[in-house]
Amino acid sequence: MRVRFALNGEPVELDVRADETLLTVLRRDAGILSARESCGIGVCGACTVLVDGRPTSACLLLAPLADGAEVATAEGLGPDHPVVRAFAEAHAFQCGFCTPGMIVAATALLAESPSPSDAQIRHALAGNLCRCGSYVKILEAVRRAAA
Amino acid sequence: MRAAPEWLAPSSLEEALALLAERGDEALPLAGGTFLAALLNQRLIEPACLLSLARIAALGGIEGGEELRLGAMARHRDVELSPLVREGWPAVARAFGVVASPRVRNQATVGGVLADADYASDPPAMLCALGARAVARSAAGVREIPVEELITGYYETSLRPDELIVEVRVPRADRAVYRKFRTRSHEDRPCVAVAAARRGAETRVVVGAVAGRPQHFPELCRDGDAAEIGRRYADAIEPIADVRGSAAYRKRVIAVEVRRALEELAT
Amino acid sequence: MSRESILLGRVRYSQDRELPGMLHARVLRSPYPHARIVRVDASAVPARAVALTPDDVRGLGVYGCQIQDQTVLALDRALHAGDPVAAVAAATPDEAEDALALIEVEYEELPAVSDLEEALAGSVLVHERIRISDNDAAYFGIRPEQGTNVCHRFRILHGDFEVGLEQADVVIEETFRTPAAQHAPMEPHACLARWEGGRLELWTGTHTPFNVRSDLARVFGLAEEDVRVVVPPMGGSFGAKTFVHLEALTAALARKAGRPVRCVLPRSEEWVTNNRHPALLTVKIGATADGTLVAKRVDSWIDTGAYADCGPGVAQKIGYSAVGPYRIPHVHVESRCVYTNRPPNGAFRGFGATQAAWASERAMDLLADRLGLDPLELRLRNVLRDGDVFCTGETVRDVHFAECLERAAAAIDWGQGRSGKGLCVLLKGMQTPSRAQIAVEAADGGGYTIRCATAELGQGSRRALTLVASELLGAPLSEISFPDPDTDIVPYDTRATSSRSTYMMGNALEEAVRELRKDGRRGVGEFRNSGGLDPDTGQGVASSHWHQGAAAAEVRVDEETGLVEVVRLHAAVYAGRVVNPPGAELQNEGSMIMGLGSALFEAVSFADGQVVNANLSDYQIPSIADIPDGLTHDLLTKPGAEVHGLGETALPPVPAAIGNALGSLGIQTTELPLMPETVLAAIDRRDGGGVR
């Protein structure tokens, strides 16, 4: 079946199976590499993308449900995006595998609460796992981006 | 190779119910799809047909009044953040707000979490404690099912194959609390969850995540102090054992957490 | 790998590497922990998919970095639930999955060895014969006990334990357990293989490209030069991606298919591929009334699962780590690596030091309690200082254990009451002996290229080395490139493990730059650390320099449920000279956070030989909401000192520091993780054992 959605502002039209996830088709057919499969069950956040502005696990969203939506990924952010800059300045990454998802989740948090408390940051990002354990600096990065 | 399931996406409830009446055996209703996508990813189900409810505008919405009306397609995150819910039913906002991550809450729905009947989800116990009812529709008619009768066991409900949950109605309470006791990470599902609500002289205590369905014993709440009721619940429940805790441990925590919930309710 | 490419998601990890015509692999695994494989029938697999069965690989060589005990697929017996018995390559991962379902395997279930106790009883042998590898094991003598499940026994004899014990006024004896844990790197194992003109080429996430090369050369009967291993950046590893895991199987599939094949491990299969060794340690330690340690005996058993992997090495490291950084005149250690019918266990950040410190440092607190001494005082009285002799007979230099302990204790206000507080000191060795080589080339268009086998796994070694090179060459960072390791091009290195890369390669780099200056085009530098331990006496040089650290924890306990809240956690680590301060901080913080997971809730759970929590919901790892507000650390530096790798030091002391903090409240635990249930049982014991 065909699904049409906007990907980082550009219209795309993809042929998908009804039981495929947005993550599968973004990676296979749309050239997206920043959203990554890690847990496959929506608990790790490595595949976080924005769907109509809301952070979503691309691995849990069946592709047909993205029809008509605005999908945004880390590819759509530039190096000068304030959250990206803040992550660079705070050295808030190690292996980098979770980082784009973390940044996407952080942009959504800051869009909703421009000056979040530490508790809010923790609550909003708790579902984005970083096994390298860069959390101290990720907290710092989000604080910086909010400032 | 494996055939792809058919995708049905009706735009009206009537159409959806007609499709369900016609193809109830092979069509799997799909709301937010978090649970079904996880099952599909692991190939635990291979449905012939997916019936998406996403285009049915009438199933959305959150309205307040004497009762809270949560549309079946209202998202967890909408319930969590709704000023109306936070104001009038704060424990409902909390129970939906502690589910998984913002990502899952952006996608998972009110109808979905009840129809999945996942024993470790947070909202069912809270809705049960508040005496909420699910409104189920089929082509043949409509009925209201108290949440505690809706969920009958692990991933099992009393819904008929041709029925859809269209709405959940939540009465007001004088006070309600939801306690989620985790034994591992902050991101873990509860080892023991306790929802409690007080309305006039009546107190309802429901324990979640310890058995196939929310555990409610009205007769145990009629008298006695908080500690006594906690002990009675611990005696009455035969808890499961899993990586979050053994059955014996859960019994001990049930006694403590029920008492704490009742103490919190009294404040 | 620029910063920008990491942040915006442009890094191509192994799982992202592609080649034209590439097929996707899936693995069929044994459902039984131990079974005879009667028949594997792949005839129903459609022709467009390629199935690999035991008969395809029967003639290939065996592999294993320390013991040659692995075949490409299980041949006649499956040795653990999850042991690969067949594999399929197809156009898509989905089609490969479909094809797996068409393979019929007939098993005959055999009695299985499910834990250390059963393994030692010896009624079932996991391997009939134990064959030592000439590869990694060349570095130390392996002492298999043929006819048993013990594949290596390492011993330390220092002084005379029995004589020492007679001098002791107080003796503590206790047994401690650590469970299996899962590395859970965010990127699973992934490997891409291609055969080109009789040569095998692999793109694979591994710390050990040269080891993979030699093992695969042996499997396929090739010259080492005919195997090329390229290492893209890894999305984390923590030890998971050391030695051969997917590579042999993927290469065999690619050879049969005549096309490139990529295998990306589904998350659930990580738990049957490589975990941390469960360990059982009995510690007997004696001191005189004034708190002077006089004798220590350690008996250690680690469960290496169905294949040894680097288990013998872990047993050796546990052997001396469990003695701890103390002056003890009489020491006897027996450390054994044992086969079971469990998934293989291998290198895990800390390499045995976590299990060792849990036992050794909990025992120290029990001893302090019995002596009525402050646990800090007891440690300071006995801790190794410059010029002291360790149990291996080596004299230690540049050691700062006392300072690490004092800094850690001060960070949690040790002097102002010890209730709810605990300490742990850590000694961890570095791979010894080993050899590292690095080349620096002057690039044609100006600038420099660094060629070495140090793989990027998020630890920042390559960044640190680039910074060192920039300083040595007097060239800006932008002029230095550092391509992915490629065994066709880079000089030899033992491996990027045991937090050795920055130190070893950093030293080799100095020579490389000197040679480059002479040659003008290319300079190669080599650095070796020499030493090693006699496996029968434990005497020699365990480590050419020591990773040193201490942790301090303060906890609050919900005594009704056993739930532990870590209020403050501090690690003090000796860093020598720091090359890349943010990288060093990240390594420390990351280690501490992983240590929190190990301390509080991480454990691989089994039922009937099967892993029951093989997903990231049932196996939890720490989230940002789990880190204490009071998570702090110190990097102890010394001008002009050697660079010390920091990848692992702050993890191993965390669980014991938390366990000792509980101990200060009378809550005495011997088993990790400190799940509320375990803690509540200890509270019951303290309070006289009543339930409710």
- Asked: is B175-266 a CATH 3.30.390.50 domain? The reply is yes
Nearest CB to A133: which of C1, C456, C589? C589
pLDDT band at C639 (very low <50, low <70, confident <90, very high): confident
Chains that touch C (3 or more CB pairs under 8 A): A, B
Contact B117, B153 (CB under 8 A): yes
Do A89 and A139 belong to one domain? yes
Nearest C-alpha neighbor of C90 from the set C80, C103, C77, C79: C103
Looking at the fold, whether A71 and A93 belong to one and the same domain comes out as no
Q: What is the pLDDT along chain A (147 residues), one digit of tens a residue?
A: 999 999 999 999 999 999 999 999 999 999 999 999 999 999 999 999 999 999 999 999 999 999 999 999 999 998 999 999 999 999 999 999 999 999 999 999 999 999 999 999 999 999 999 999 999 999 999 999 998
pLDDT digits (tens, 9 = 90+) for B75-100: 999 999 999 999 999 999 999 999 99
Q: Specify the fold of B58-171.
A: 3.30.465
pLDDT at residue A43, as a whole number: 97
Domain shared by A108 and A49, yes or no: no
Half-sphere exposure (CA, 13 Å, Cβ side) for C423?
30
* Inter-CA distances, C377 with B84, C371, C374, C552, C657, Å: 59, 11, 5, 14, 15
Residues A6 and A67 in one domain: yes
Residue C640 binned pLDDT confidence (cut-offs 50, 70, 90): confident
Instruction: Name, of B124-133, C458-467, C489-498, the range with top average pLDDT.
Output: B124-133
- Which pLDDT belongs to residue C501? 78
Query: Are the C-beta atoms of B133 and B94 separated by less than 8 Å?
Result: no
- Region B209-217: mean pLDDT is 98
Which residues are CB-contacts of C680 (< 8 A; sequence separation ≥ 6)?
B249, B252, C561, C562
Q: Residue C231 corresponds to which tokens in the numbers above?
A: 């290492």
Q: What is the DSSP letter of B196?
A: E
What whole-number distance in Å separates Cα of residue B221 and Cα of residue B162?
A: 36
Partner residue facing C235 (CB), from A39, A95, A126:
A95
Q: How do residues C528-563 score in pLDDT, each as one tens digit?
A: 888 899 999 999 999 988 999 999 999 999 999 999
Average pLDDT of the residues in B28-51 = 95
Based on the domain organization, do A6 and A72 belong to the same domain?
yes
ipTM > 0.85, yes or no: yes
Q: Which residue has the tokens 């196996």?
A: C619
What is the side-by-side strand order in the sheet with B192-199?
B175-181, B192-199, B202-208, B215-216
Residue C446, token pair as written in the block: 């100006």
* Residues 73-102 (C) with a CB less than 8 A from some CB of B: 94-95, 97-98
Beta strand segments in chain A, E: 2-7, 10-15, 48-51, 54-57, 70-72
- Whole-number average pLDDT of chain C: 95
Instruction: Identify all chain A residues contacting C188, using CB atoms and an 8 Å cutoff.
Output: 38
- Report which residue type is found at C251: A
Residues A32 and A6 in one domain: yes
**Boundary residue ending a domain (A17, A51, A76):** A76
Mean pLDDT on B225-241: 98
Length of chain C: 692
Residue C136 has pLDDT above 70, yes or no: no
Q: Are strands C279-287 and C50-52 parallel, antiparallel or unpaired?
A: unpaired
Q: Is the pLDDT of residue C135 over 80?
A: no
- Chain C positions touching B183 (Cβ under 8 A) are 563, 601, 675-677
Nearest by CB to A97, from C3, C236, C586: name it: C236
Q: How far is C687 from C668, CA to CA, in rounded Å?
A: 11
State how far the Cα of A88 lies from the Cα of A84, in Å rounded to an integer. Answer: 6
- Judge if A29 and A87 occupy the same domain: no
The gap between the terminal CA atoms of chain B, to the nearest Å, is 61
The structure tokens 């895990």 sit at C348
CA distance readout (Å), C529 to C475, C526, C541, C544, C574: 28, 10, 10, 6, 20
| Total count of domains within chain A | 2
Q: From the centroid of its chain, how far is CA B36?
A: 16
Q: What is the CATH number of the domain that holds A56?
A: 3.10.20.30
Return the C-alpha torsion angle C44, C47, C48, C49, nearest 10: 50
List the domains of chain C with CATH numbers: 23-110+186-236+240-272 (3.30.365.10), 275-389+399-430+538-686 (3.30.365.10), 434-529 (3.30.365.10)
Angstrom distance (rounded) from CA C636 to CA C632: 13
Q: What average pLDDT score do residues C203-208 get? A: 95
Q: What is the pLDDT of residues C560-601, one digit of tens each?
A: 999 999 999 999 999 998 889 999 999 999 999 999 999 999
Q: Contact, C25 vs A115, CB < 8 A? A: no
Residues of C in contact with A125 (CB under 8 A): 624
Q: Are residues A20 and A71 in the same domain?
A: yes
pLDDT at C151 exceeding the cut of 60:
yes
Predicted confidence (pLDDT) per residue in C396-455, tens digit: 999 999 999 999 999 999 999 999 999 999 999 988 888 889 999 998 888 999 999 988
Q: With contact defined as beta carbons under 8 Å apart, do B77 and B102 qualify?
A: yes
Q: Which element (helix H / strand E) includes B8?
A: strand B6-8
CA distances from C448 to B135, C380, C397, C477, C513 (A): 71, 48, 36, 10, 10
Residues of A (76-135) whose Cβ lies below 8 Å from C: 77-79, 84, 87-88, 91, 93-100, 103, 118, 121-123, 125-135
DSSP alpha helices (H): ranges in C474-544?
501-519
pLDDT of residue C692: 38
State the residue range of the domain holding A141.
82-146
Residues A72 and A98 both lie in one domain: no
Confidence of residue C83 (pLDDT cuts 50, 70, 90): very high
